[in-house]
C-alpha cells in the first residue's frame, strides 16, 4: 500500500486543513466541499487526513463495521452482542464519478431473493465508509440521483436499500468530503446546502511558497517512507490533538450570546432555512474544542460563518461565492454577548501549529482558469462601415434581467447523460417495458419475469403453488426519463444586432436560456460571429457561469458572417460527437437572420444551414428582428435548418404571444 503524503507537510491551504480537522473532531459538522482549480492539493489533503484519524474498534467479521460497544441492532450481519472487538485503521473510501447506484448503496441478489426468499445483500461503498471518510472527487460531475443518495445517507446516518419488496438498512456515518473544479460546472443550490462547510483553494502566487511545495513534493516522490518518517512527530501530535478535542467536545458550552450571533449572522446574510444555523453552531463548538477551550468565543462564530455560509448564499449559478467580512464583523459586534464570551481573537483557531511550514499544497503547473478574451478591437471605416480587416465595435452592454423560458427540447428518445431536458432511456424514470439483462441485473421487471418463467414450471418439477425462477427468466425493466443535452448557442454579435437596448434584451434572453440549461443539467457552448469571422467564445462545458461571463463581455459591431457562424458551430458539434457520442445537441441560433459578411452571404448561409438539417440536428432560431418593417429572415433560416423559430417575446414561458401560438398550433392539429 502506498504511503500517503503527511498532512502536516502540506504547505499553505489553511482553510482546507482547518475544515477537514473540524470534521475529524466533530463529524456532525456535515462534511466539506472543496472548490478550486486543479493541482491545488485537494485530493492530497483528504488522503492525508485519513492517516491522522484514530483507529476504530469493530465487531470481528462484520462487513458493516459495527461498534462492539454499541452494535447496530439493524445490522444485516447481526445481531451482535456487545463486547470486545478488533481495532483497525479508519478507512477512506473513494466514490468514482462513474459509479452505479448499486455500487454506492449495495445490491441484493434478486435471483436468490425470488427463488430462495433470502436477503443476500452485497454491501456498497456507503457500508465501507461507515466510521471513516467518504471521498468524492469531482462531485459536481456525479449524477444527481447519486448525490441525493449519499447526502441523504450522510444526513440520516443510515442507508436504505429497497428492491421488489426486500428491504435492507445499515448504519452509514462518515465524514463526507467532495472536491470540484467550478470550471466544470456547479452543484445545484439544494445540494450545496447539504455540505456542512465549503472552502475555496487556489495555488499560491508567492514564489517562496511555491518553491517549498515543489521541494517537499520531489522529496516525497523520491522516498515516500523516508519523507513520511521525518514528519512522524508532527503527525502524532495532530493525531493526539484530534483525540483530545473529541473528548473535550461534549464539555464545550455554546452560550446564548453565541447562539444570538449565529442566528443574527444567518439572518443578515439572508440564508434560506435553518441548516446554516445548526452547522455554524456545531462548527463553532468544534473550533473551541480544537483550541482546547470549553467556551465558544466570538472568534469561533466568525470563523464558523466564513466556512459555513458562502456556498449557502448562492441563489443561482451566476452569483459569486464569498462573504462580505465587513458586514460579518458589524453583525457580530452588534449582537456581541456577555455570557462568558469575549470579542478577542483566539490565537489558535486553526491547525497552523500542526507542523513546520504551516501546511499544504501540491504543485499546480496548470492552475488558473483563463479569463474571457474579447480580442483586439479593429478600426471602423468611413460612415461607420467596417474595414475589410475587422469590424467597428461598440463596448459591451449589460444583459437584461433573466426570465423563465419556454422548454426547448430535442425530439425523439436519446441515451445520453442524465438530465432534465429531453426524453431518454435511463436507469431512473417510469417503466416502459422489459428486456433481457445485459450484464448485472439492476432493475427487475417482476411481471415480465413471472411471464417468462411461468411456461416452464411443469418441466422444472413445480406442480403446486410457488414459482421456480432461473437466471434466464429474469427481465430488466426499461425506463424512460430525461437526459441533459449539449446546448450550443450561436449568437449574432454584428452591427445589425448592435443597438444597445436590443443587444441588452438579446443577452438577457441568452442568459435566461443559460440558467435554464443549468437547471436541466446540460452542457453548453457559445459561438459568436461578427465582422469577418466566427469564434468559439466557450467550448462545450458544464460550467454555465463561464458562458455567462463570456456573454457579459461580448462586444458588438460590424458585418454579419452568418455562414461562418453556422459552419463554426457545425465543426464544434463534429468534435463533440467524437468525445461524447451519446449526448444529443440542441443548437440555439440567436439572430435577426441577416447575412452580410463575405461573398454571396445569403447563399452560403443557406448551404451551411442545410448541413444541420441533413444531419438531423435539433435547432431553434431566436428571432431578434425588430422595427415596424420585418423581413422574416430568421423564420426562413429556421426552415433551412429544419428547426423552429421563436421570437424574443415568445421565448418567455409566461408569454401571451407564445401561449396564443401554442393554442393556434393545437387548433390546426385538431382540425
Q: How much is the pLDDT for 347?
A: 44
H helices of 553-648, in order, are: 562-579, 601-614, 633-641
The owner of cell 460612415 is 383
pLDDT at 353 over 50: no
Q: What is the pLDDT of residues 499-516, one digit of tens each?
A: 666 788 888 889 898 888
- Euclidean distance between CA atoms 339 and 337, whole angstroms: 6
Burial of 295 (0-12, 13-18, 19+ CB in 10 A): middle
- Euclidean distance between CA atoms 209 and 355, whole angstroms: 15
Q: Give the β-pairing of 618-623 and 585-591.
A: parallel
Question: Is the bond preceding 590 in cis, omega lying within 30 degrees of 0?
Answer: no
- Euclidean distance between CA atoms 657 and 270, whole angstroms: 36
Average pLDDT of the chain, as a whole number: 81
- Residue 552's contacts (CB-CB under 8 Å, 6 or more residues apart) are 396, 398, 399, 507
Active site residue 275: yes
- The three cell numbers of residue 125 are 461503498
Q: What is the pLDDT of residues 221-240, one digit of tens each?
A: 999 999 999 999 999 999 99
Q: How much is the pLDDT for 558?
A: 83
- Euclidean distance between CA atoms 483 and 432, whole angstroms: 16
Under the banding of pLDDT at 50, 70 and 90, the label for residue 387 is: very low
Q: What is the pLDDT of residues 290-326, one digit of tens each?
A: 999 999 999 999 999 999 998 887 666 666 667 888 8
- Euclidean distance between CA atoms 280 and 315, whole angstroms: 20
Q: How much is the pLDDT for 411?
A: 92
Most confident of 303-307, 361-365, 547-551: 303-307
Averaged pLDDT for residues 428-439: 82
The DSSP-derived string for 209-277 is: HHHHHHHHHHHHHH-HHHHHHHTHHHHHHHHHHHHHHHHHGGG-B--HHHHHHHHHHHHHTT--SSHHH
- Euclidean distance between CA atoms 548 and 541, whole angstroms: 12
- Euclidean distance between CA atoms 643 and 617, whole angstroms: 8
Averaged pLDDT for residues 637-644: 95
- The three cell numbers of residue 262 are 449565529
Separation of CA 395 from chain center: 34
pLDDT at 245 over 70: yes
With beta carbons less than 8 A apart as the criterion, state whether 623 and 647 touch: yes
Do the two domains 7-54+90-202+220-237+247-334 and 387-410+485-670 of this chain adopt the same fold? yes
CA nearest 612: which of 490, 493, 522? 490
Q: Give the β-pairing of 533-541 and 197-201.
A: unpaired
Q: How much is the pLDDT for 337?
A: 59
Under the banding of pLDDT at 50, 70 and 90, the label for residue 113 is: low
- Euclidean distance between CA atoms 184 and 186, whole angstroms: 7
φ/ψ (deg, to 5) at 168? -130, 135
- Residue 117's contacts (CB-CB under 8 Å, 6 or more residues apart) are none
Q: How much is the pLDDT for 590?
A: 93
Q: How much is the pLDDT for 620?
A: 95
Under the banding of pLDDT at 50, 70 and 90, the label for residue 381 is: very low
φ/ψ (deg, to 5) at 176? -95, 125
pLDDT at 543 over 60: yes
- Euclidean distance between CA atoms 254 and 215, whole angstroms: 43
**The CATH classification of domain 387-410+485-670, taken from the options 3.30.420.40, 3.40.50.410, 3.40.50.720, 3.40.1180.10:** 3.40.50.410
163, 253, 275, 387: the active-site residue:
275
Q: How much is the pLDDT for 389?
A: 38
Sheet holding 430-435, edge to edge: 418-426, 476-483, 430-435
- Euclidean distance between CA atoms 340 and 321, whole angstroms: 33
CA nearest 625: which of 596, 602, 641, 648? 648
With beta carbons less than 8 A apart as the criterion, state whether 452 and 475 touch: yes
pLDDT at 534 over 90: yes
| CATH code assigned to 7-54+90-202+220-237+247-334 | 3.40.50.300
pLDDT at 258 over 80: yes
Separation of CA 309 from chain center: 18
The DSSP-derived string for 7-38 is: GGG--S-HHHHHHHHHHHH-GGG--EEEEE-S
φ/ψ (deg, to 5) at 5? -65, 135
Give the rounded percent of residues in the chain with a pLDDT score beyond 70: 84
CA nearest 300: which of 241, 345, 248? 345
Give domain limits for the chain: 7-54+90-202+220-237+247-334, 387-410+485-670, 425-482
Most confident of 118-127, 515-524, 572-581: 572-581
Q: How much is the pLDDT for 150?
A: 82
Q: How much is the pLDDT for 86?
A: 87
With beta carbons less than 8 A apart as the criterion, state whether 641 and 613 touch: yes
* Torsion angle, alpha carbons of 336, 342, 345, 350, to 10: -100
Most confident of 133-142, 167-176, 603-612: 603-612
Under the banding of pLDDT at 50, 70 and 90, the label for residue 611 is: very high
Most confident of 52-61, 69-78, 118-127, 485-494: 485-494
Amino acid at each position: 500500500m502506498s504511503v500517503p503524503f503527511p498532512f502536516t507537510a502540506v504547505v499553505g491551504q489553511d482553510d482546507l486543513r482547518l475544515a477537514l480537522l473540524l470534521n475529524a473532531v466533530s463529524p456532525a459538522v456535515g462534511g466539506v466541499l472543496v472548490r478550486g482549480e486543479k493541482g491545488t492539493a485537494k485530493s492530497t489533503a483528504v488522503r492525508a487526513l485519513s492517516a491522522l484519524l484514530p483507529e476504530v474498534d469493530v465487531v470481528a467479521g462484520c462487513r458493516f463495521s459495527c461498534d462492539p460497544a454499541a452494535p447496530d441492532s439493524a445490522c444485516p450481519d447481526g445481531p451482535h452482542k456487545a463486547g470486545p472487538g478488533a481495532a483497525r485503521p479508519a478507512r477512506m473510501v473513494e466514490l468514482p464519478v462513474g459509479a452505479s447506484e448499486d455500487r454506492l448503496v449495495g445490491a441484493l441478489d434478486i435471483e436468490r431473493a425470488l427463488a430462495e426468499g433470502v436477503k443476500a445483500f452485497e454491501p456498497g461503498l456507503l457500508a465501507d465508509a461507515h466510521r471513516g471518510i467518504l471521498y468524492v472527487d469531482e462531485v459536481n460531475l456525479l449524477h444527481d440521483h447519486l448525490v441525493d443518495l449519499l447526502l441523504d445517507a450522510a444526513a440520516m446516518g443510515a442507508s436504505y436499500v429497497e428492491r421488489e419488496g426486500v428491504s435492507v438498512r445499515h448504519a452509514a456515518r462518515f465524514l463526507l468530503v467532495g472536491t470540484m473544479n467550478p470550471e466544470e460546472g456547479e452543484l445545484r443550490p439544494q445540494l450545496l446546502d447539504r455540505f456542512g462547510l465549503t472552502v475555496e483553494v487556489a495555488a499560491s502566487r508567492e514564489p517562496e511558497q511555491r518553491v517549498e511545495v515543489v521541494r517537499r513534493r520531489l522529496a516525497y516522490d523520491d522516498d515516500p517512507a523516508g519523507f513520511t518518517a521525518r514528519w512522524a512527530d508532527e503527525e502524532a501530535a495532530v493525531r493526539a490533538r484530534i483525540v483530545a478535542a473529541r473528548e473535550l467536545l461534549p464539555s464545550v458550552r455554546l452560550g446564548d450570546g453565541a447562539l444570538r450571533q449565529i442566528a443574527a449572522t444567518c439572518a443578515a446574510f439572508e440564508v434560506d432555512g435553518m441548516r446554516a444555523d445548526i452547522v455554524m453552531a456545531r462548527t463553532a463548538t468544534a473550533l473551541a474544542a480544537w483550541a482546547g477551550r470549553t467556551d465558544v468565543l466570538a472568534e469561533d462564530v466568525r470563523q464558523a460563518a466564513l466556512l459555513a455560509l458562502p456556498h449557502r448564499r448562492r441563489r443561482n449559478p451566476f452569483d459569486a461565492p464569498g462573504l462580505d467580512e465587513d458586514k460579518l464583523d458589524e453583525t457580530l459586534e452588534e449582537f456581541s454577548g456577555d455570557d462568558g464570551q469575549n470579542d478577542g481573537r483566539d490565537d489558535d483557531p486553526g491547525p497552523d501549529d500542526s507542523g513546520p511550514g504551516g501546511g499544504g499544497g501540491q504543485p499546480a503547473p496548470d492552475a488558473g482558469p483563463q479569463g474571457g478574451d474579447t480580442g483586439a478591437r479593429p478600426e471602423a471605416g468611413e460612415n461607420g462601415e467596417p474595414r475589410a480587416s475587422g469590424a467597428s465595435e461598440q463596448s459591451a452592454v449589460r444583459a437584461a434581467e433573466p426570465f423563465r423560458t419556454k422548454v426547448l427540447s430535442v425530439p425523439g428518445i436519446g441515451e445520453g447523460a442524465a438530465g432534465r431536458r429531453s426524453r431518454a432511456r435511463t436507469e431512473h424514470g417510469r417503466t416502459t417495458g422489459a428486456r433481457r439483462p445485459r450484464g448485472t441485473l439492476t432493475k427487475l421487471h417482476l411481471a415480465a419475469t413471472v411471464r417468462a418463467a411461468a411456461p416452464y414450471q411443469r418441466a422444472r418439477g413445480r406442480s403446486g403453488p410457488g414459482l421456480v425462477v432461473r437466471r434466464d427468466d429474469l427481465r430488466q425493466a426499461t425506463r424512460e426519463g430525461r437526459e441533459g443535452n449539449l446546448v450550443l448557442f450561436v449568437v449574432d454579435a454584428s452591427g445589425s444586432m448592435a443597438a444597445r437596448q436590443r443587444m441588452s434584451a438579446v443577452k438577457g434572453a441568452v442568459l435566461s436560456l443559460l440558467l435554464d440549461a443549468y437547471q436541466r443539467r446540460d452542457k453548453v457552448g457559445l459561438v459568436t460571429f461578427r465582422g469577418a469571422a466566427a469564434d468559439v467564445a466557450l467550448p462545450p462545458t458544464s460550467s454555465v457561469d463561464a458562458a455567462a461571463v463570456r456573454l457579459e463581455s461580448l462586444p458588438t459591431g460590424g458585418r454579419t458572417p452568418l455562414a461562418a457562424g453556422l459552419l463554426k458551430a457545425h465543426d464544434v458539434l463534429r468534435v463533440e460527437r467524437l468525445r461524447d457520442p451519446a449526448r444529443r445537441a440542441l443548437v440555439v441560433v440567436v439572430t435577426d437572420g441577416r447575412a452580410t459578411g463575405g461573398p454571396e452571404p445569403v447563399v452560403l448561409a443557406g448551404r451551411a444551414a442545410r448541413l444541420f438539417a441533413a444531419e438531423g440536428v435539433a435547432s431553434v432560431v431566436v428571432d431578434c428582428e425588430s422595427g415596424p418593417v420585418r423581413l422574416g429572415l430568421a423564420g426562413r433560416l429556421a426552415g433551412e435548418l429544419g428547426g423552429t423559430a421563436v421570437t424574443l417575446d415568445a421565448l418567455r414561458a409566461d408569454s401571451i404571444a407564445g401561449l396564443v401560438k401554442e393554442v393556434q398550433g393545437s387548433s390546426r392539429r385538431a382540425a
